[in-house]
Structure 1
Amino acid sequence: MSSDKRPIDQNENMFIILCASAILIALYFLKQNYEYWRRLGVPGPKPKFVVGNLGQTFLMKKSPLQIFIDIYNQYPDLPIVGIYRSITPTLLLRDLDLIKEVTVKSFDHFQDNDLKIDKEIDPIGGRHPFFLKGEEWRIVRAHLTPAFTNTKLKWVYPHLEDTSQGLMKFIESQSDALNGEGFEAKELCMRYTLNNVASCVFGIDGQCFEDDNSEFKQIANKYLSPDGWSAVKLFLMNVFPFLTRFMSVKLTAKSVEEKITNILSQTLRYRERNNIVRNDFLHVLMQLKKTCKDFTDVDVIAHAAGFIADGYETSSIVMSFVLYELANNPDVQSKLRQEIDKNFAKNSNTLPYNALQKMTYLDAVLKEVLRIHPPSFALEKRCTKRFTYIPNNSEIIAKSVVIEEGTPIVLPIFGLHHDPKYFDNPEKFRPQRFIGGNKKNIKKYSFMPFGEGPRACLGQKFGVVQIKIGVAYIIRNYQVFVNNKTQLPLKYNPIYLLISPIGGLWIDFKKIT
């Protein structure tokens, strides 16, 4: 009786043995890798095979940043927690003294943000200060810092007032048509902040109140929103940090890059040919080009485009939460309206810049919103030079811990802001935390919505001013209420890196007569 089975030859045997050996070796080193923090004496949650501590991210249930906050809350007595972004050992900080070291005192050991964008691949996104590294970042920051002084903000302030008045006209024109449906707060605020960016940076009318699908709005919606393979690479780089050594991603689509370049190139040529000086950020960038030989047209375009992310997306998120909290707390809204009414100029019906800066209750409301709803759950940095951490008064971590170069570092902003150790009754909206003597009770580095130290957000002053004036105009002219389309309690989108409530924040407006 014959058999169809062919005997396995010696080469095939050898191949099977080699494959099995390779798998066993890989499993051994993976297991050893997951012992990294234990060997250093740093406690943390047990990682799972390949996914580490990011299992819920792979299931699309939570973003990595949301997972970091869960872990922060699980270890209230630890100064640091050892976690794994897939197979990469990552250190989550809870100790305020260490956060101070990382962001300020020993900044040269942690000077880079974690995500890498190659400017050769993405000349616009890659030049954003957030993504630049080392000495190149230092040079660019030195170039751009003068653009955000109080003097420069006063320059652009009249443009912000014009947009705020346009916002009032838009709300009034739409109120009857909505028929009780309410405004989705972020969508409304995005129209406002995008018009501000168009005017204060690009020197154009964004037409975002007049046209639901204006060209500038289309550009902004696609900016820093990679599609196709770029989106897949961004996800992979976020959950497998070691991949940043081997790949980069293009955040700005080619079509968007071309449109931004075309708009700015036309504006620059027009201003230069006609010797036009307009008090806006584009003029500041043009002056930089004249005085700094290494600051080119590409740099002007890239840093102007950077305002779309900083001055449009982030600011609209924060402003929408301000409206939500005011709608949800009518006593706070009433008190704020009294302060606003006192500071508006009676003759011109405008809000002077100096008066806005002196409004302490408005400032406190905004800071309390930033505490409860920081735009990012966490910030991610990278150790750039070996650092030795010596715990203070920790019984669990008794010895010093060496943080090796290349180790990702997590600053859990949302966790710090909601920690009862630093903020009494942290879920309660209480602007008085940031008024008068109460401010002294807030521990340094427990509240840092914009980051801290040299890497803090460059455009935060512009963002704060545009939010304040927009909110001031709204609350002076309208009472705001939470529309029942808002899904309560708030839950956040698991696949969006910034804080984004599922279903949106829906607000009703009632004209004050």
Structure 2
Amino acid sequence: MIITNLLTGIAGALTNNLTEILATLAFICATVYIWLQYQYSYWRRQRLPYIEPTLIFGNLKGIINSECDPCTWFQYLYNHEKAKEHPAVGIYIFNKPSLLLRDLELIKTVMIKDFNYFSNRHSASDPHSDSLGSDNLFFAKNPIWKEIRVKLTPVFTSGKMKQMFPLIEGIAQEYDKYLCSQKVDAKTNSTVIEVKEPNALYTTDVIAITAYGLQANSLSDPNGIFRRNGKKIFTFNWLRAMEFKAFFFLPILVKIFRFKVFSTDTTIFLRDTINRTMEERMRTGTTRNDLIDILIKFRREAEEEAKEGKKPFILERDALAAQAAIFFSAGFETSSATMSFTMYEMARNPDVQQRLREEVREAFLSNDGKVTYEMIMGLKYMDNVVKEVLRHYPPLPFLDRVCTPKAGEEGYSLKAFNMDFNVPANMPIYIPQQAIQMDPQHFKDPESFNPDRFLPENKHENNMNAYMPFGIGPHNCIGERFAMLQTKLGLLYFYRNHYVTACDKTPKKLQLDPRAVVIQSLGGIHLNIVRDPLF
């Protein structure tokens, strides 16, 4: 009897506790739900057009769940029935109210005319756990960003490109040798290759020699340390995908979970490599007209400023190494992807490929077989081909900014664009550049691959103000010249001895990886590489 009463008492107590626990959980869930509903009423309260969000994810469900790639998702938002005919439309990044800009004049105003209100990206890394990732030109905030930008700009002038040209061209020659060393079928004189990998080996070697002053030899050793670390950065497994999505859409999670642009091993490798190279270069006095020379100049100028009592940012943490790190990561991935997308489109458009090869052949013949900087700049059709590839496949399918009004200001007024709204401080702004570049209002028959749309006589049919694969304004990609140069040189040497055709593994329509924020093809790009020397 005593035991029975004891057990009954315990059961009653547990029941009461369980009831209290369930009631508490129900109260918390109800509170969170009501709070989210209030958050999601922001744009309705502002009486502005908006796209209805889903619970928790806001308007990012397709991207966060990897249901579709970022290009497709931003096209969906851009073309949404609630967004059409409006210069901007309200969206939610999780629960945070944000703006998606659609009108080109508004975009131009935000990105150029009133840049001071939108000089920072919303995307960010954590300076405490990832100095290499946060202190570089891409993620740095004003005024540090401006200091770095001013100092790095001389690296990418046309004069510097000419000086770097022999270094890049030497790697392009090795790329040609690598391709010619691949075994081909005796009957068809061809072989099937996933083209992104050899293109990445080429661009990795280019970046290593121009940014680090080192021969990475990835083309001869595909498993070398530079290529291994490059793969780590852009291999989008589920964890890496969530890290990148946090960088661009929810930076607060970056600090909480200590996400990093560069892993610990990659950070150690890149930091040690750049510092060791700089020390050796300073010890010997060697110059090579590359990024290392510029970084050494920064360091010496900063050391002089420090003697005067100033605290130059460039001497803090990993600021110098961070610039080389972002140059390495962004430089090899984006250009290798552009080369691969170009080859895919050439396989789908053999008439375009034939015209491209003919231009390459004529360039070699008219220049006595020599490759020069001026020769590359004179490849007008190739330039248009690459531009058309970047219209379809910009490396990053969206641009992001955050509003930073001056102290005491209410925000940034949109009255000039018939919107009675002041963009408040810290509100994220997104520009869906790939969706804009595929809008038939701006480009005639946008789904077709037509390099001739960039000819002067055809520009009246296409709005070039809508073309922004490298961004626009003061925050545009500083490495545009470099990226175009290494891409064109790689394509020149590829088409010198080869062309591509579709194979059984080549998709009729390219699928992009839904996990990758920086666009990548899903499953790679397999093409038939045909050996056919031009002369």
Q: TM-score, normalised by structure 1?
A: 0.91
Distance 1:174 1:242, change over 3 A: same
Check whether the contact 1:99–1:445 (CA below 8 A) recurs between aligned residues: no
Deviating more after overlay: 142-151 vs 484-493: 484-493
Gaps of 5+ in 1: 393-397
Rate the CA distance shift 1:246–1:222 in 2: closer, same or farther, 3 A.
Answer: closer
Deviates more, 1:148-157 or 1:430-439: 430-439
* C-alpha deviation, 1:141, in angstroms: 0.5
**Distance 1:11-1:434 versus aligned 2 partners, 3 A rule:** same
Shift of residue 241, structure 1, vs aligned partner: 5.2
Q: CA deviation at 1:461?
A: 0.8
Matched, 1:356 2:364: no
1:55 is matched with 61
2:106 aligns to what?
Answer: 98
Q: Does 1:282 pair with 2:288?
A: no
Structure-2 change in CA distance of 1:20 and 1:48 (3 Å) = same
Indicate how the Cα distance of structure 1 residues 81 and 205 shifts in structure 2: closer, same or farther if over 3 A, else same: same
Contact preservation (8 Å) 2:196, 2:336? yes
CA contact (8 A) 1:356 1:469 kept: yes
After TM superposition, the structure 1 stretch with the greater mean CA deviation from structure 2, 12-21 or 362-371, is 12-21
**What is the alpha-carbon distance in structure 2 between the residues aligned to residue 378 and residue 339 of structure 1?**
33
The one of 172, 183, 186 equivalent to 2:193 is 183
| Structure 2 partner of 1:44 | 50
State the partner residue of 2:392. Answer: 372
| Structure 2 match to 1:466 | 486
Structure 2 residue identity aligned to 1:120: H
Match of 1:383 in 2: 403
Shift of 1:314: 0.7
Give the residue type in structure 2 aligned to 1:85. I
Alignment CA distance shift 1:46-1:95 (3 Å) = same
User: Which whole-Å CA distance do the structure 2 matches of 1:309 and 1:274 have between them?
Assistant: 28
Q: Which moved more, 1:18-27 or 1:182-191?
A: 18-27
Quick one: which amino acid aligns to residue 264 of structure 1?
Answer: I
Matched residue, 2:307? none
CA distance in 1, matches of 2:133, 2:209: 21
Query: Amino acid of the residue matched to residue 122 of structure 1?
Result: D
Corresponding residue to 1:271 among 271, 277, 281: 281
Matched, 1:325 2:345: yes
Q: What per-residue deviation string (whole Å, max 9, x for no partner) do you get for residues 46-77 of structure 1?
A: 21221222333343312556422211122332
Alpha-carbon shift at residue 348 of structure 1 (Å): 5.5
Corresponding residue SS for 2:12: coil
Structure 2 CA distance, aligned partners of 1:73 and 1:401?
22
Higher alpha-carbon deviation: 215-224 or 352-361: 215-224
| Alignment coverage as a number of residue pairs | 508
Amino acid at match of 1:218: R
- Whether the 8 Å contact between 2:444 and 2:461 is mirrored in structure 1 is no
- The Cα of 1:29 is off from its aligned counterpart by 2.2
Q: 272, 276, 286: which one pairs with 1:262? A: 272
Q: TM-score, normalised to structure 2's length?
A: 0.87
The offset of 1:347, in angstroms, is 6.6
Listed as ranges, the matches of 1:435-474 within 5 Å are: 435-474=455-494
Secondary structure, aligned partner of 1:82: strand
SS in 2 for 1:507: strand
The answer (yes or no) to whether the contact 2:123–2:249 under 8 Å persists in 1 is no
Task: Specify whether residues 10 and 329 from structure 1 end up closer, same or farther in structure 2 by C-alpha distance, changes over 3 A only.
Answer: closer
1:136 matched to which residue of 2?
A: 144
C-alpha change, 1:436 and 1:259, in structure 2 (3 Å) is: same
Cα drift, residue 245 of structure 1: 7.6
Partners of 1:161 and 1:130 lie apart in 2 by 27
Query: Are the equivalent residues in 2 in contact too, given 1:190–1:313 (CA < 8 A)?
Result: yes
Counterpart residue number, 1:432: 452
Residue 395 of structure 1 is matched in structure 2 by: none
- Aligned equivalents of 2:229 and 2:32: distance in 1? 45
- Residue ranges of structure 2 left out of the alignment (5+ in a row): 304-311, 406-410
Match of 2:259 among 228, 249, 252: 249
Q: Which residue of 2 aligns with 1:341?
A: 361
Identify which range, 287-296 or 422-431, moves more after superposition. 287-296
Q: Which residue number corresponds to residue 442 of structure 2? A: 422
* 1:406-447, Cα deviation, whole Å (9 max, x unpaired): 111111011101100011110101111111232354435411
1:72 matched to 2:78: yes
Contact residue 487 and residue 502 of structure 1 kept, 8 A: no
Shift in Å at residue 100 of structure 1? 0.7
* CA contact 1:321–1:373 (8 Å) conserved in 2: yes
**Deviation sequence 1:361-398 (CA, Å, 0-9, x none):** 11111111111111122122211222111364xxxxx6
- Distance, in Å, in 2 between the alignment partners of 1:33 and 1:428 is 41
Alignment partner of 1:286: what SS? helix
Give the direction of change, closer, same or farther, for the CA distance of 1:58–1:306 in structure 2 (3 Å limit). closer
CA contact (8 A) 1:81 1:91 kept: yes
Following TM superposition, by how much is the alpha carbon of 1:96 offset from its aligned partner in structure 2, in angstroms?
0.6
The Cα shift of 1:233 comes to 5.3
Q: Is the CA contact 1:361–1:435 (under 8 Å) kept in the aligned structure 2?
A: no
Q: Which residue of 2 aligns with 1:305?
A: 325
Q: Check 1:242–1:263 CA distance in 2 against 1; reply closer, same or farther (3 A cut).
A: closer
State the shift of 1:17 in Å. Answer: 6.7
CA positional deviation for 1:84 = 1.5
Judged with a 3 Å threshold, the aligned counterparts in structure 2 of structure 1 residues 407 and 247 are, in CA distance, closer, same or farther, namely farther
Residues 1:65 and 1:327: Cα distance change in structure 2 (over 3 Å)? closer
Deviation of residue 231 (structure 1)?
Answer: 6.7
Aligned to 1:115, what secondary structure does the other structure show?
coil
The answer for the alignment partner of 2:514 in structure 1 is: 494
Structure 1 counterpart of 2:58, one-letter code: G
Alignment correspondent of 1:479: 499
Q: Return the letter of the residue paired with 1:215.
A: I
CA RMSD for the aligned pairs? 2.8
Alpha-carbon contact 1:160-1:196 (below 8 Å) kept: yes
Q: Distance in 2 between matches of 1:229 and 1:338?
A: 45
